[in-house]
Structure 1
Amino acid sequence: MHAFYADHFVLPLPSGHRFPMAKYAQLRERLARECPEVEMHEALPASDGELTLVHTPAYIDAVASGTLSPALQREIGFPWSTAMAERARRSVGATLQAARRVMGQGGGLAANLAGGTHHAYADKGGGFCVFNDFAVAARLMQAEHARRHDRREPLRVAIVDLDVHQGNGTARIFAGDASVFTLSLHGAKNFPFRKEPSDLDVELPDGCADDDYLHALELALDELDRRFEPELVLYLAGADPHEGDRLGRLKLSFDGLEARDRRVMDWAWSRRLPLVFAMGGGYGHDMESTLQVQVNTYRTALAFERRWQGQALAAEAAATPQGTHWHNPAP
């Protein structure tokens, strides 16, 4: 299974800043030790042309040139720096490469070790999100699919957002777009306090634990099934619903979050839908707990990637002509 990273671009954040910058390199180190089947690649930066599929040219230029206003920098939560601008492009690029991987091979799973920047709008960022990687990936896959296939209807993309915070930027970008279905399960009283309507929003009370969460997820996936037939799934597997998260306010256990991942991935597998996932938020009091949630997501994903690979091998075997094979044919 392929995963893409950009953790070597480290933002110069002030002391005490609550964004867990160190976790991305730590996640890659743990995966290298514990999940060697994950093949990791350095992410390439998203180009201006790719970003303009979603973001306004003026905003892209302001991020690139360092001319973001102080108010926009405060809304993002990061002071501008060259590392901030480059990391933002590569965070999008990682999701683009993962999406190209699964679409190019006709299925499977691939990942971004960061990403899930769902608070970014077309013309501004927010909540530690500069550019919206899932939105750009959805638009780029639609454009590339249209070039490869002669059909008028765009590729249908489902965004399953299970970060504890609502994906307000994603919801606004795709408002009224029938080709992208946005599903968000999130804390009702959590950030952002001004939410945007997704195609399906499920608001959860503070303290929501495993059983209630998984029941809500099951109902939401059933509703998605009734209303939409996706061809690609983008899954935001946030670690912040965990009971040990500083900002999450929900009470999911490690087992509950693993069951969440397994349910989404099984839902996609049963429909033979390619799936790209990103890590989203995670702000544990103990950073090891956040990393454990994310490592568990990768372990679950590997099990489903093996299913895809097994299916591919079976299809290859079935396509091989049967009959007598002469190992040493006569001259």
Structure 2
Amino acid sequence: MSDFKNISSNHPLHAYRKCVDHFMPIVYNSSYDVYFFKIETIHPFDTKKWSKIAANLEEYFKIKYPKGSSHDIIDNNNNNNNTLTYCISPSHYITKDELSLVHTRSFICRMHCSPLSVAKASEVCPLVLCPICITERKLLQPIKWQTSGSILAGFLALKYGWAINIGGGFHHCSANSAQGFCLFADITLTIRYLWQEVSDRLNILIVDCDVHQGNGYARDVLSMKPPEQKRIYILDLFNPNIFPGDTIAETAINRVIYLKSKIDDKEYLSLLEFHMEAILTTDHFKPDLIIYNAGTDILIGDPLGRLRISANGITKRDEIVFSFAKQYNISIVMLLSGGYQRSSAQVIAQSIRNLFDKQILDVINN
């Protein structure tokens, strides 16, 4: 709830090209997508959804803000006044040394040297037979780009009030364990880099609306020192009858909201609103930043989620969370997390569009 407009960071993961006039703190790089050996046809996750969302938003912003639009600020050399830049790229994908702020040496070694470890974590069994050099280039690097995107978006959100990473949200990955297509702990890394580079007194609220329990960052919180644990509050709404069922990690969650299978929009949104308000009014936690893990696997028809939330329900959910942040003057960063239907990209893009249509979000003026 403090003013962080004048914050700065010298770390390369927080670096971005300054804009001359107007811009959007929406983070994306064309390397986010994962595609090789037709993985996109054998995995339930739409591994190209990130570029679909970016393309959808680009068309939207070209119409809504007709002064101009550029695809990627890092590759954009046109710095004319009155040029709107809707997308910011991380400066690079996260390196092994940068991962080591959170991840153990043994974990980093496994993920870069063991095809079996990567195959298990990504849930793509054929990767056991794939040379690790190819897996590194085709799978690990895109996830590293998204991880860098989350870290940058967290910094931008704190500085400008809001940010969206069109990717990330790998909430099943912890410092020493990867699972569920979550290969690197971008949420914990985002927090650690903010504590290291901006202030170690930042209070972080994690609002996890992915249908699966967020056990990765929760396990990392359990390993933190007590003063650090007090600076993190977790609200997690998930279906307890599906993966991962991590009872140890659940002890780190401040508000555990079990969602029954086939819950509908009305009941779901009512629960979300009630517990968001209770964080401030009942539990008296005062966050400086909300990390919003906005999974769309709650969508009706999702083969893994088993809920019955409509596309309109997801739009309203995102509206509730962003409106809450705006009402209480709390910075917010949105990560996209899970969503296992080909329609997820369209649903996400439409929801982000709605935030601009309702003027909950708007361009940033330098």
Smaller-chain TM-score range?
0.7 to 0.9
Higher relative contact order structure (alpha carbons within 8 Å, sequence separation ≥ 6) = 2
Match of residue 5, structure 1, among 28, 33, 47: 28
Equivalent positions of 1:237-316 (< 5 A) are 237-284=294-341, 287=342, 289-302=343-356, 303-306=359-362
Q: Which runs of 4+ in 1 moved over 6 A?
A: none
User: Is 42-51 or 204-213 further displaced after alignment?
Assistant: 42-51
Select the structure of larger CA radius of gyration: 1
Counterpart secondary structure, 2:344: helix
User: 5+ unaligned residues in a row in structure 1: which ranges?
Assistant: 147-152, 314-331
- Who is 1:111 aligned against? 164
Counterpart pick for 1:41 among 88, 96, 102: 88
2:201 maps to amino acid: P
User: 2:292 matched to which residue of 1?
Assistant: 235
Structure 1 residue 53: Cα displacement: 2.5
| Distance in 1 (alpha carbons) for counterparts of 2:276 and 2:157 | 22
Query: CA 1:126 to 1:183, structure 2 compared with 1: closer, same or farther past 3 Å?
Result: same
1:11/1:51 CA distance change after superposition, 3 Å: same
The aligned residue for residue 179 of structure 2 is 126
**Rounded Cα–Cα distance in structure 2 between residues aligned with 1:119 and 1:215:** 26
Inter-partner Cα distance in structure 2 for 1:50 and 1:16: 31
TM-aligned CA distance change 1:31 to 1:259, over 3 Å: same
Residue by residue, what CA displacement relative to the aligned partner does 1:127-174 show, whole Å, maximum 9, x if unpaired? 00001111110111111222xxxxxx6211111110111101111111
Residue 108 of structure 1 deviates from its aligned partner by 2.3
Match of 1:170 among 206, 212, 217: 217
Instruction: Quote the Cα distance in structure 1 between the aligned partners of 2:351 and 2:150.
Output: 16
Deviations 1:38-59 (A, max 9, x none): 7123332123443222211221
Matched, 1:67 2:113: yes
> Aligned partners of 1:145 and 1:42: how far apart in 2?
20
Tell me by how many angstroms 1:2 deviates: 2.2
Once the two structures are TM-superposed, the CA of residue 76 in structure 1 deviates from its matched residue by: 3.3
Residue identity opposite 1:267 in structure 2 = F
Change (3 A) 1:93 1:75: closer
Q: Secondary structure at the match of 2:114?
A: coil
* Structure 2: runs of 5 or more not aligned: 1-23, 66-84
Identity, in percent, stands at 27
For normalisation by structure 2, the TM-score amounts to: 0.75
Q: Residue type of the partner of 1:70? A: L
Paired residue total: 297
Instruction: Give the direction of change, closer, same or farther, for the CA distance of 1:126–1:278 in structure 2 (3 Å limit).
Output: same
Q: Deviations over 1:91-121 (max 9, x none)?
A: 11001111222223xx322111111000001
Q: CA deviation digits over 1:161-203, x for unaligned, max 9?
A: 1011110111111126111112111112121133421222111
Q: Which residue of 2 aligns with 1:140?
A: 193
Give the secondary-structure state (helix, strand or coil) at the position aligned to 1:192.
coil
How far does residue 7 in structure 1 lie from its aligned partner after superposition? 4.3
Deviation at 1:210, TM superposition (A): 0.5
SS at match of 1:283: coil
What SS is found at the alignment partner of 2:321?
A: helix
Which residue of 2 is the match for residue 218 of structure 1?
A: 273
AA at the equivalent of 1:91: Q
Contact 1:165/1:186 (<8 A) preserved: yes
- Alignment partners' CA distance in 1, 2:35 and 2:109: 19
Distance across 2 between alignment mates of 1:301 and 1:246: 27
Is the 8 Å Cα contact of residues 60 and 353 (structure 2) preserved in structure 1? Answer: no
Q: CA deviation at 1:247?
A: 1.7
TM-score calculated relative to the size of structure 1: 0.83
- The letter of the residue matching 1:54 is V
Distance in 2 between residues matched to 1:120 and 1:214, nearest whole Å: 27
Measured on the aligned residues, the alpha-carbon RMSD in Å equals 2.2
Contact 2:213 2:245 in 1 (8 A): no
Pick the aligned partner of 2:56 from 15, 30, 40.
30
Q: Which amino acid aligns with 2:158?
A: M
For 1:41, what is the secondary structure of its paired residue? coil
User: Match of 1:242, SS?
Assistant: coil
Say which is worse superposed, 195-204 or 39-48, in terms of deviation: 39-48
